[in-house]
Amino acid sequence: MIGLNIIPHDMVILRGIVEFSLAVPIVILNYKYFTSGFKAIFRLNPNMDSLIAIGTVTSILFSLWELFSDCLTILFVYQPPPVYCISHR
């Protein structure tokens, strides 16, 4: 991935805080996915907004855990391995 190296790699905490501060406004602007998604979950009728809400909240919580934990080995959100569709012929 090509990007700007504005913050040196030595400042891991600062880099994580900057990445988090860039992600928060996007989450705030798209709050409708969270409200409709969690309402659908509590009504036991999940939809695509529920999937977006659960995935985003999980990735943010995981990133915050890794940012402020002692191990500091990972500062990015893991992407799950690709799922291949197996078609029966």
Cα gap 65→72, rounded to integer Å: 9
Q: CA distances (Å), 13 to each of 29, 48, 64, 68, 71, in order? A: 25, 33, 11, 8, 12
* pLDDT of res. 16: 80
pLDDT of 72: 54
Q: pLDDT tens for residues 40-70?
A: 999 999 998 898 889 888 888 888 887 777 5
Instruction: Give residue-wise pLDDT tens across range 5-48.
Output: 676 666 777 878 888 888 888 888 888 888 999 999 999 999 98
Phi first, then psi, for residue 69 (nearest 5°) are: -85, 175
